Structure 1
Amino acid sequence: MTYGDRLRKRWAVVRLLPQMQRVDVEWFYKYSDAEGYAKILRRLDPQFQFEVMFDGILIDRQNLSV
């Protein structure tokens, strides 16, 4: 794993939608930052459901063929 991979923002605040869909709202380096942001969003807009998710997939972007 390269240094750049370790610095990647892996914690996402997402808004949950019907039928198992989601919208990425913001990305963070630290879980605590993401959870704090999600808590603020829940207070500001209680009609939507916001959750924190971890993106643990490491992809070698240079070796991907489109």
Structure 2
Amino acid sequence: MNEKPSLKPWAIARQLPTLKWLIIARYRSRSDADGHLLLLRQRVPNMKFKVVFELFETTR
């Protein structure tokens, strides 16, 4: 399997009821991801979100 570095390594993940994490958006910089995370937490305060860093983007 060929894996290449992602151009958008920062992502926002949301925790599902099954306790799995789902990537909902990707960003090129940490500051962009943090800014959108603040917005999401204000708009949807009862959901759990996290900023994560992924070295490689996996494709299936």
| TM, length-normalised to structure 2 | 0.76
RMSD across aligned positions (CA): 2.5
Q: Show structure 1 runs of 5+ residues with no match.
A: 62-66
Q: Equivalents in 2 of 1:19, 1:54: separation in Å?
A: 22
Greater helix percent: which structure? 1
Q: Which runs of 4+ in 1 moved over 4 A?
A: none
What is the number of equivalent residue pairs in this alignment? 57
Q: Which residue of 1 aligns with 2:45?
A: 46
Q: Identity rate of aligned residues, in percent?
A: 29
Q: 1:8 to 1:45 in 2, by over 3 A?
A: same
Q: Equivalents in 2 of 1:40, 1:46: separation in Å?
A: 10
